Every structure is written in structure tokens, then in C-alpha cells.
Structure 1
Amino acid sequence: MFCSKCGANLGEGVKFCPNCGAPVGPVSATPAPADAPGAAAPAPTTVHPKRRAPFVIIAVAAVAVIAIAAFAVTHLLGGNPKEAAGANGMGNSVTNIAVGDGQAVSAGGMDYFFDRNGLECAKVNDPGSVKQICSTSSDTYVGMLNYADGRLFYVSYDEDAGEYRIESVKIDGSDEETLYSFDRDDKYRFPYLYIADGRIYVVCNAYQHRTDSLHIVSMATDGSDVRNELDLDMPCYDVAFSGGRIYYSADEADDGTGTGSVYSMNIDGSDTKRIFSSDGGSVGDITVVGDRVLVAAHDHSGGHGSDSTSSYYVASMNTDGSDAKKITDVSDDEIDIVGANNDTVYLSDGDSFFAVPAAGGDETDLGLPDSFQYGAYLIGADDHIIVSNGSLFNGLANHVGSMKGDDGSSYVEYFSES
């Protein structure tokens, strides 16, 4: 049975609704929604305060318990409980990993980042609080930094051993351990490391025009329960992983002159769909911002050679490929996606950095310091962004900072090495 006043499910023999306190009378087995066409309004009922009071008290008490619990989680774990639990929130997002090479992450009111001193941390926008978590060898490649449940996770590459390693360390620098390792074997690009639903996902894609392969392994955050999620021989270049789906680019011609496209599929390889085509060009960066997929594309439909014409742009679309639009003016200079925060994407044309709404809109010049003139990644961190000029290709950063605004005026520097 259902309550004629609020539609709540009622048990047998109940005289008053436990949800709204209304007396139980004749009810419909399947109540119509209040806004359904032709649905009759429920008959007015009189509820006596003395009969309703116990239910009101119970409801108020339940809300109070929930509020106290939420307060405790937020303050004891630090910051947003979604971040503290290592969920798919800011600082643990596809943007951080797919675009910025995972050089920084933010969680629980702290920013964590790689620089020339190793793995360090600072309270948000507090340069005086910087301290080292652990050292990192200058000849070891590190990146894909992520966070879950009081631990930091990242990928390292030992060139002497020719081995990729999934590393983990507590946020206080203790209990360093290697959770998983595998041979590079000249096959895979530096692996992406995502954390979703309490599991680590290691996504390996091949170098362009070498080996066509996409390989995904997942494991618990303690390194146990290792599973091979996907192993496909297929062209797969830039990759992003969000909401249980893989977004990847592929060139449809072996010589790299074909149409660059972006595809989407489930993590098990099923339900593959093409969601974007660059129409005679190629595709670079891919990232997911909220419910939008962002793609940096190159149009060389004017041909190849000294007399050819090329243009660059960034396209934005829904995750199914609908509502596709260019959100930048077509440019003669290459445009890179260098980060995102909430519903904003950050772009660079090589000379300047600017912000654009992910769904399209006016551009805002970020006014970053000159130290980032030749390259930076902007890592989305909810109410601020971490700025780093470190990457897998340029090595550990020699400038790292944070800013809360979009005009550069709030920038503070965590680390600088001339």
C-alpha cells in the first residue's frame, strides 16, 4: 500500500504514514505522480499535531545525525569528503591525468606536486607551508599523481630496469611501496593512473605508429586483486578515462595523413562509438570536463608540404558526440589543452594561457607569470588551480604555484628554481 498524501510505501496494519504522519485510508496500489496529466489531487486530510509530533521528532533527529556525521567527515578527513574518499572529484579527475601528465593533485586542503626536490606538499595557497614528502631520483620519470584514502599514488619509470612501477606512499611520507610493476618493452607510452570506485586503473596505450595496442589493468589500492580489464590490438593514441568509459583518438590512415577521430567505449571494449572526426586533420589532447569531451584538433585539409595550409582549434561536445562545436577561433598556431577546473578549460597557444567555458564562450587571459611563458599545466582543484611547468617530457618542474582567480593576481609560488 501507498500513502494517499505523500506516496510513501506503507507496511501492513499501519495507521499513520511514517513519512508525513497522515492517517492511512483507502489507497491506490500505484499512486500517480503529482504532475501526471489527469492525476487527481489527493483529498485534503486533517492531521492532529499530537499524532504527527513523534514522526517530526524522528525526522529532525535523523537530519541532525546526518549533519553531524557530514561535519565530522569533512573536518576530520580534511576538505571535501568526496575528495578525501578518493572519488572521481576534482584533483582526482581525468583532466589532471590525461592532460597534465599527473604532475599535481589536490585533496583535503593540501596541494601535492612533483618538483626538483621530489614529491612535496603545501597547504592550499600557502607557500610558507611547503615540505617534502619523499625524494625522487632526477633520472627517474614520475607522473600520474593521484590520491585516495590518505595515500598518494603515482607511476614511475626506471630506465635502467626498463620497468614501469605503480608506487604508493602515505601523505606523511611513510610506508613507501611498489604495488605493481611491468616491463616497458618499447611497447607502451607512460601509463595513465586513474582511481575510481576504490580501485586503481592503469591504462596503457601504444606509441603512435609503433604497436597498435590498448591495455588496462585494475587493482585494489593496496595492490591486491589484480585484474586484466582489457587487452586489444587496435590503433589508440591519446586516451582519457571517465565515468567507466574510455575516450581515445585513432588515425584512420597508416601514414598519419588520414582523418583523426575520437572514439568512446566501455572499459571492457564493448559499445564502441565514433564521437568526433577532424575532417581531414588529426587529434591531439583529449579530456573530459563535467559532461563535455574536449578535443584539440589540427586541420590540414589544405594538403601536405611547403604550400599546405593548417589550422588548429578546440572542439567541445557531449559525451555521446552530440552538440559538437568549436570553442576557439581557428588559429595558425597550435592550441593545447593544458588543464581544466569545474566547467572551465585552460588553453595555450604557445605564447599565452587563457580560459574558456567548456561549453563555449568568451576567452579570459590568465596573466600567468613569465616563468610559465614556455609551458605549464593547470591542474583543476575545485576552488583553485595548481600551475606546474613539469611534465613527463620536460622532467620535474622548476616552477610550481597556485592561483584562485583567472587573472593571475592571486598567484603564489610553491617552488622556484632558476
Structure 2
Amino acid sequence: MSIIVVTLQAVVSAVTFTGVILLSGILFLAQILNHHDRDERTDVSDPRSITAIVPVYRDADILNVSVSSLVESTVPVSVCIVCEPDDQASIQRARTLAAATDADVECRINTRYSGSKAGAINFAIETTESDYIAVFDADESVHPQFLRSAAATLEECDIVQGRTVPRTTGIIETIAYYESILLSYTGRRLLYYFTEFRMAASRAVVMHRSSVEATGGYDPTMLTEDYAFAYQCYKQGLDVREMTQYPSTIEAAHTVGDWWGQRKRWMSGYAQVFHALLRESLPPQNRRDLLSLGICLSTVAGNILLLSLTSKFMVLFIVSAETVVLLPVVTVVGITGLIRCVDYSNGTVERVGWGWLLTPIIFPLYGLVATKALTEYVISWTGEWYHVEKTH
């Protein structure tokens, strides 16, 4: 009897997982196939002033990627490179880039809130005056039409969040690309469909200055300052729009160690944000306080449950129900392969390749990282950070 019950649970999990991935994948495919935004949001006759903030730390080797792409934007933009006081290599590189171009590029030293990306962004916002604030990573290659389209969209909302696509230069980078598709974009479709919560990150994002001020800015104590910022935006009732047109490309982790360390930091950051929301929102003052707790808890728990799916699928193999296991595997591979083809046709990636065949391993790997990160956060986490070395 117990074997029958366990097998039934495994079958239900496989079918449910397949249905969620299939529906979410179709919704995301429909969104990136829709080119109406690309056609309608490029004519901005009087764009407001935009300051593009690029916080850097030990990013001297890749800083030219963001700066060179931003100065090619089809709207006027002021590029503000924010360096940490102890990062002389990035300071020198930023000053060299600023001097080498006729565009509005400047280097500022974060003397006010040094020590974090969040502090660098807050410092730049406080010391600039543009109507619109944009934030990008140093390794981010920004599409020349992105800021123009985002500025047009901001006439109707508070914040515009663009899509970022890891550059697939190797096997680890390719896994990061498909992970981005499955967990960052496809994985959020149903959440976005049923709630007003939207991710507002600290890269590929464009905002009204007043919107940032309403949230109090980014929290420098948070490992994942963007995840914490998204909840502050949601709790303040800000209208965040996702714009998948004109995606940026970014560097991914290049080694297994960096991949693991970066994701462990993210998972620890999610737990930290949930901990902070518990302190802020108990007892809940309104519906968004309550939903914030629920959404964040489901994210933390969902990442851990990814590992349990592996054990359930192993049960199906043991009872010779391989066909049921193939159902979610084929769905994951098929959805990611289709999205890769669309990204290729849009010029977002250079080739289709065969990496999509590896996508089923992403879920147990992510679940393993999440389980370790959460366990260590609860038992022994002391606030350590992890910095990924990037080259271009």
C-alpha cells in the first residue's frame, strides 16, 4: 500500500510539474514573440533626461562593455560610473573611458555609502538630478533601443524592468542561460499572471526618480538588494512593467565554483529577504504585506522542493514508469529549445546549439544549492558575501 501511495504522489508531482512548465513556457513564448512593443515604443520625440548608473567593483576588465553600449543609445543619456574607494583599477579604467569619449560619461567615487552595490546606486541617485534613473551592470551590453523604449513605457508606469540574457560562451555559461529562462522568466509567469508583483532588479531597470525615493532606495545590508527592492516596490504599490523587448546580454559565471558561489549567495539572499519581511510585516497591515510574505516564502520553499522532485522521479524509474518521467523532461527540453530558437531569430543569441538537452539537470542542482544555502543561513550564516570574477 505504501508503495502505491508513494508512486501516486510521484505521478501527481510529475504531471503537475509538467503542466506548470508547459503553461508558463507558452506564456513566456507568447510574450517574447509579441513584437508590438518593439514597433510602438521607439518614437519618443522629447525624451526626459536619463542617468544610467553603472556600479562597479573589481570590474575594470569588463567596464567598457556597458559604457560603450550605453553611449550608443538612441536617446541622450548621462553615464555615471560609481567606483568604490579601494578599487583603484576600476577608478582608473572609468576615468580613461570617460576621457576617451565625447559622450556624457563621468566617474564618481562612492565616498558616502561604500561597501555594496546598493550603496553605490543610492549614492549616485542622491548626487544626480535626472528625471529618469537607469541601473546597469558593468558587464551588461545594452541594446541601443532599450532606453528609448523604456522611457516611452515610463509614461504609463513607475518602473520598467528589462530582460537580461547570459552570453553562452561555454558550458557553464550555457547552463546559466537556460537557468535564466526556466527560473527567472518562465518560472515567474503564473506569479505575474495572478498577482501584481513584478521583479524590479538592480540591472536593466529604468525608473522615475520619485519611484526610487518612495521606496527609500536599495538596502545595502541585503545580499540580494534587487530582490528586497522588488518587495518594497510592491508594498508601495508601484506599477512595475516587464519589457522583454531589446534584452541586454550579460556575462555569466565562468567556473563551477563561481556558479555555485553566486547561486548560494542568491539563495541566502532570498532567505534574508523573507526574514526581513517577517520582521516588517507581522502583523500584516494590508493585503500586500500578507502577499509579500506568501510570495517570498513560496520562492524559498519552491527552490528547496526542486531537489525533492528528483527523488520522486527516481521512484517512477524504480517502478518502471519511465514514460511518466519522460513527460516533464521532454516538456522542459522542448520549451527551452523553442525559446532558444526565438532568441536566435531575434539576434539575442548567436546560435541554437544543443545545450537545451541539459536543461533537466538545472532543477536538482538549484535545489541542492538552495537547501545548503538555507540550512547554513539558519545555522551559521555570518553575513559573508561572494564576488564572481568576470572577464569579457
TM category (shorter chain) comes to under 0.3
Q: Name the structure where helix makes up a greater proportion of residues.
A: 2
> Looking at CA atoms only, which structure, 1 or 2, has the larger radius of gyration?
1
TM-score by length of 2: 0.23
Which structure shows the bigger proportion of residues in strand conformation?
1
TM-score (norm 1): 0.22
